[in-house]
Structure 1
Amino acid sequence: MLIGIDPVLTPDLLRHLGAMGHGDQLVIADANFPAESCANRIERLAGASATEALRAILSVMPLDTYVDAPARSMQVVGDPEAVPDIVAEFQRIIDEVADHPAQIQSVERHEFYREAKKTYCVVQTSENRFYGNIILSKGAIAPS
């Protein structure tokens, strides 16, 4: 255990978050997400929800300010304008916790999978709500 570090963040996940560079991306995924076929690196947070993972990750990782969409979620199949409850909760967490809050942009399901394959890491949670997936782009920490 560490002081000030959310216990949801495992040692391996902290290593990955620290190793990621500016512009690298990660997926926070629900339990149904095809992580094995989408990822080179997978970290599993057994027992954690996607919202708990998002809150913990944003407590230590800056969001990218140099891209139009540093936070992207999967569109609802057949209803791309819908905002699932979990995505609304993601937005509230980003607004509360992120160093530079950003509006979540939605991405068509198959495009989301293609984008997920390019990410540094997939963090698979035990989230059982549908559409509990989000891609985050890591920002830079300015010199003090």
Structure 2
Amino acid sequence: MLFNIPPILSPDLLWTLQAMGHGDEIVIADANFPGTSMGARCHRLDGISATDALDAVLQLLPLDSFVETPATTMQVVGDASAKPEAVAEFRRIITDRTGAEAKMGTLERFEFYERAKKAFAIVQTGESRIYANVILTKGVIA
């Protein structure tokens, strides 16, 4: 056990967060996301919501301040302007954890999948809400 480490983060996931470099990306995904077939490392957090996973990860991972949108979500198929409940919570968590208004982009479903395939890792949660998927770009600690 360690002090100040969110207990939902496994040792393997902690290694991944530490091993990632500036500009590397990690996906936090809902239970329906095809995480294992994406080819990246896939860490499972069954029974944990995507919003709880995001909050825990952001306690340790700095977001990239050199890119326009260090957080990117998946658009709702057929309604790109829709804002799912989980995405609204992602925005709140990012704003709370970073102390600044969240800079978030969106990608069409298959564009999101293609970008996720290139991610350093995927965190597959037990989140049952659909479209609860976000790609984070790691920054540096000043």
* Superposed pair shares fold, TM > 0.5: yes
| Residue in structure 1 matched with residue 15 of structure 2 by the alignment | 15
Amino acid at match of 2:13: L
**In structure 1, the residue corresponding to 2:5 is in which secondary structure?**
coil
In 2, Cα distance between equivalents of 1:114 and 1:59 = 27
Moved over 3 A (4+): none
| Residue in structure 2 matched with residue 123 of structure 1 by the alignment | 123
| Residue in structure 1 matched with residue 92 of structure 2 by the alignment | 92
How far does residue 101 in structure 1 lie from its aligned partner after superposition? 4.8
Number of residue pairs the alignment of both structures matches: 142
The sequence identity of aligned pairs, in percent, is: 56
Residues 31-110 of structure 1: pairs in structure 2 closer than 5 A = 31-98=31-98, 101-110=101-110
In 1, Cα distance between equivalents of 2:94 and 2:8 = 17
In 1, Cα distance between equivalents of 2:100 and 2:110 = 28
Deviations 1:69-117 (A, max 9, x none): 1000000000000100100000000010136653221111000000000
Q: Is the 8 A contact 1:63 1:100 kept in 2?
A: no
Structure 2 residue ranges without an equivalent (≥5): none
Q: Is the 8 A contact 2:25 2:119 kept in 1?
A: yes
**In structure 2, the residue corresponding to 1:66 is in which secondary structure?**
coil
**Residues 99, 122 of structure 1: alpha-carbon distance in 2 compared, 3 angstrom cutoff:** farther
Determine whether 1:25 maps to 2:25.
Answer: yes
Q: Is the 8 A contact 1:27 1:135 kept in 2?
A: yes
**In structure 1, the residue corresponding to 2:139 is in which secondary structure?**
coil
Structure 1 residue ranges without an equivalent (≥5): none
What is the TM-score of this pair, normalised by structure 1? 0.95
Amino acid at match of 1:134: V
In 2, Cα distance between equivalents of 1:89 and 1:132 = 9
In 2, Cα distance between equivalents of 1:101 and 1:122 = 25
In 2, Cα distance between equivalents of 1:101 and 1:22 = 21
